[in-house]
């Protein structure tokens, strides 16, 4: 509270009364009726005094969020893409312009999961560097079951990747962990089918239909930014590029308009199916950086994602583009039909 120049138009008695009423209302949380009874005036008089106090700078209201969060961009992104939640984090000042997924996204996503997950939920974690950073940053999580939604990039690095992320989240929550000890991409459908039938993997798959909150990453279709791209041969990459591949999420490919392509790839992958993802009530994507911005837009248009944690570099691109006309996240219908 402060008295500004415009407030000098009020007399001293008015100033003292307005300040007292404003203190009761804004700082002490009293209702206008309670204030009216205390000062012996009508509640309409109290409302007028409070309004005047704002107009004349006697009261200043600030809406403050932590410096790293951009509330304006967050709200604009949520509205533009029909998201349930959108959290935009300031891109690190010292980050390279083309750096994908700044590590601070994982920290903010960890806090968001702490809000979204409730006791008894089933939390699903897909492979991705950002989800691994998120799991490492978790400090609070209600009791829940944690299941791995995809195989790992390299089974030999499982202890440092998706499996460890699942274990970490389960340890924080005090719930059960259901990891998947298998590569994400297999050489053929027969091998993938055989692995899906193995006891541990089959048990994890049984939880897919029970997942209530999922956390996924997004990759643009280029080397070092998409795990699937890195695992494929040159011929396979060229094939999917010819189909218009622009983005990848949990081993599912999308074109720039958010349509799923290359469904045959999913048959070779240990991953949650797209139709199961679509039925999960809350799917949080963690992805940022200008290099991933177009891919993020493509996945948002698919309707598979309900919430997004990103950074200002990606958000600026997403907000500057044409209005997405296809598939807002809260309309979970399959854009490719049944």
Render pLDDT for 249-277 as a digit per residue (tens, 0 to 9): 999 999 999 999 998 888 899 999 999 99
In angstroms, the CA 96 to CA 94 distance is: 7
Based on the domain organization, do 36 and 75 belong to the same domain? no
Residue 61 lies in a domain: no
Distance CA 128, CA 215 (A): 9
| Higher pLDDT, residue 162 or 175 | 175
Token readout for 310 is: 């990103």
Task: Let me know whether 123 and 22 are in one domain.
Answer: no
3-class secondary-structure state, position 142: coil
- Residue 2 domain flag: no
Average pLDDT (170-198) is 92
Token pair for 62:
């600030």
% of the chain residues with pLDDT over 90: 55
pLDDT at 149 (0 to 100):
95
- Indicate if the pLDDT at residue 322 is higher than 70: no
For 179, the domain range is: 67-318
Residues 94 and 152 placed together within one structural domain of the fold: yes
Mean pLDDT across 325-333: 52
- At 159 the pLDDT is 43
In whole angstroms, give the CA distance from residue 255 to residue 208. Answer: 25
User: Are 178 and 32 contained in the same domain?
Assistant: no
**How buried is 153 (Cβ within 10 angstroms: 0-12 exposed, 13-18 middle, 19+ buried)?**
buried
Least confident segment among 17-31, 209-223, 233-247, 310-324: 310-324
* 42 and 116 fall within a common domain: no
Residue 3: inside a domain, yes or no?
Answer: no
Counting Cα atoms < 13 Å in the Cβ hemisphere of 333 gives 7
3-state DSSP helix/strand/coil % of the chain, to nearest 5: 45, 15, 40
Are residues 132 and 199 both part of a single domain? Answer: yes
Question: What per-residue confidence (pLDDT) applies to 16?
Answer: 81
Asked if residue 168 and residue 42 are part of one domain, the reply reads: no
pLDDT tens sequence across 90-132: 887 655 555 666 778 888 999 999 999 999 999 999 988 888 8
In a domain, 324, yes or no: no
State how many domains the chain has. Answer: 2
Instruction: Tell whether 275 is covered by a domain.
Output: yes
The CATH number of the domain holding residue 45 is 1.10.10
Q: How many helices (H) and strands (E) does the chain have?
A: 15, 11
- Give domain status of residue 34, yes or no: yes
- Same domain, yes or no, for 48 and 82? no
66 pLDDT tier (thresholds 50, 70, 90): low
pLDDT of residue 93: 66
* pLDDT of the residue at 327: 47
């Amino acid at each position: 509270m402060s008295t500004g120049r415009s407030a000098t138009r009020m007399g001293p008695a008015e100033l003292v009364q307005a300040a007292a009423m404003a203190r009761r209302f804004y700082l002490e949380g009293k209702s206008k009726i309670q204030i009216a009874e205390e000062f012996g005036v009508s509640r309409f008089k109290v409302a007028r005094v409070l309004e005047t106090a704002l107009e004349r700078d006697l009261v200043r209201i600030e809406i403050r969020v932590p410096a790293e969060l951009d509330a304006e961009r967050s709200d604009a992104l949520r509205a533009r893409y029909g998201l349930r939640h959108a959290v935009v984090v300031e891109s690190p000042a010292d980050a390279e312009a083309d750096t994908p997924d700044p590590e601070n996204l994982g920290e903010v996503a960890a806090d968001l999961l702490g809000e979204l997950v409730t006791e008894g939920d089933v939390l699903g974690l897909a492979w991705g560097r950002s989800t691994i950073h998120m799991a490492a940053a978790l400090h609070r999580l209600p009791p829940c079951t944690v299941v791995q939604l995809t195989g790992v990039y390299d089974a030999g690095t499982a202890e440092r990747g998706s499996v460890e992320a699942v274990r970490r989240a389960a340890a924080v929550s005090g719930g059960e962990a259901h990891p998947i000890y298998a590569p994400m991409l297999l050489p053929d459908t027969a091998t993938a089918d055989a692995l899906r039938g193995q006891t541990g993997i089959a048990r994890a798959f049984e939880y897919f239909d029970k997942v209530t909150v999922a956390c996924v990453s997004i990759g643009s279709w280029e080397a070092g930014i998409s795990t699937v791209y890195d695992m494929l041969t040159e011929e396979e990459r060229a094939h999917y590029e010819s189909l218009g591949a622009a983005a990848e999420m949990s081993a599912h490919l999308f074109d720039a308009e958010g349509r799923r392509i290359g469904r045959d790839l999913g048959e070779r992958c240990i991953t949650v199916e797209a139709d199961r993802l679509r039925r999960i009530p809350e799917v949080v994507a963690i992805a940022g950086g200008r290099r991933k911005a177009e891919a993020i837009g493509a996945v948002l248009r698919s309707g598979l994602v309900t919430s997004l944690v990103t950074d200002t570099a990606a958000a600026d691109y997403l907000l500057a583009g044409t209005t997405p006309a296809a598939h807002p996240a809260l309309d979970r219908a399959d854009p490719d039909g049944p």
